[in-house]
Amino acid sequence: MRRIGRRAFHGWWMVLVCALCVFLGPIPIVVFSLGVFLKPLAQEFHSGRAAAVILLLSNLCSGSIWQVYLFYAALGVVGPAELVPYVRVISSWFDRYRGLALGLMMLGMGCGALIMPSLAQYLIARFGWKVAFSISGATMLCVVVPMIAVFLSETPAQMGLNPDGAIQRATIPVGDAHAGASLREAWQMRTFWLSFCSFVLVSASVHACFTHMAPIFADRGTPAQAAALASSLFGGGLLLGRTGSGYFLDRFFAPRVAALIFTGAAAGIALLRVANSQELAYAAAFLIGLGLGAKGDLIPYLASRYFGLRSFGEVYGFTFGGFALAGGLGAYLMGAAFDAKGSYAWPLAAFCILALTGAGLMTRLGPYQYQIGLLVESGPKLEALPSES
């Protein structure tokens, strides 16, 4: 394996490319800005907020509700799936620094969540929601696709490199980089379903709160731009969750990191329920964003450590698919509860309990099952990965 002198390991360039693609992808532009679009969509189609949650409109959807549903269903299939190849690429390029690399890659999504809601609010106010969506779609097509085609390399082996930029393997092997369980084998493991259920419960809770963040603030008499600020503060928490969790995953046992962050998200939901000032509500938005941000690192990291890289795409895709579906269901149920009761009070309490349950499930995971041999760059061995003990 060759070494590229003293230059930075090429894997970090892969992290940068993936981060930029995620920043300009459908999740920050559409999902994290949906709360800003929620009221305009509900007013346009004379629908309740539960129905408005499942509306994503473009100039192609000329007022026919079935076109809107079909359009959003298609986006729901291809939108979240964009993350699967990115995290697979990063997991191939890094092992010992995998958590940090995933966190830096997900920084792109965190920046998107921080910037896009306010940008969407500006575009809606200036041009209307149809033009705002058209601009978003053009950006994805004309910028992201060429970047992937030109700059992205799938594995370090294609460039004659080892993961993490190492030049040799240590003498103590602890697994095969390409070993692991199949999706069918993973389904038979208790660890898989514990982590899956944890992510589903937390996803439903944090997505429900985020999607309805702007309406919650608006119902309290907050101006539209201040409500958009709440979404941006959520993005700030998400940004910190992305990078911070990745850093700690390389240094501490991942399920414990997850349990702590999910507990913080539950605290944020509780705070949003009882907050009687904008400042406390902004703090709640930040904590909830922190919980959602961490999942971007936690799902692929735990998948690679407990089920290996053999069927990583399938395992990660199944887990993230459940996470995404639960997020949509949580947002819908929050809207349905509001339509039925005229208040967000009791669904916020219920989602707080669900998030705490998800945190508890994380504490039941066992030790890691897969990691590749310890890698060295110039002689000394890197310290072992953190363990359950």
Taking only the tens place, the pLDDT of each residue in 119-167 is 877 877 788 777 777 777 777 778 877 888 778 888 787 777 778 776 6
**pLDDT, tens digit, for every residue of 40-49?**
666 665 544 4
Q: What average pLDDT score do residues 89-95 get?
A: 86
In this structure, what CATH number is given to the domain that contains residue 64?
1.20.1250.20
Instruction: Look at residue 3 and tell me if it is in a domain.
Output: no
Long-range contacts (CB closer than 8 Å, 24 or more residues apart) made by 70-73? none
Instruction: Look at residue 384 and tell me if it is in a domain.
Output: no
Q: What average pLDDT score do residues 269-273 get?
A: 87
Lowest-confidence segment of 171-185, 244-258, 281-295, 299-313 by average pLDDT: 171-185
Instruction: Look at residue 300 and tell me if it is in a domain.
Output: yes
Instruction: Look at residue 305 and tell me if it is in a domain.
Output: yes
Instruction: Look at residue 326 and tell me if it is in a domain.
Output: yes
Instruction: Look at residue 6 and tell me if it is in a domain.
Output: no
The pLDDT assigned to 56 comes to: 38
Q: By residue range, what is the domain housing residue 51?
A: 11-376
> Taking Cα atoms as reference points, which of 11, 27, 32, 30 lies closest to residue 228?
32
Q: What average pLDDT score do residues 76-97 get?
A: 77
Please provide the distance, in angstroms rounded to a whole number, between the alpha carbons at the two ends of the chain: 35
Instruction: Look at residue 386 and tell me if it is in a domain.
Output: no
pLDDT at position 58 over 90:
no
Residues whose CB is less than 8 angstroms from the CB of residue 372 and which lie 6 or more positions away in sequence, other chains included: 95, 163, 174, 175, 176, 177
Q: How many domains does the chain divide into?
A: 1
> Taking Cα atoms as reference points, which of 336, 155, 309, 184 lies closest to residue 344?
336
**Does pTM surpass 0.75?**
no
The pLDDT assigned to 191 comes to: 94
Instruction: Look at residue 1 and tell me if it is in a domain.
Output: no
The pLDDT assigned to 192 comes to: 95
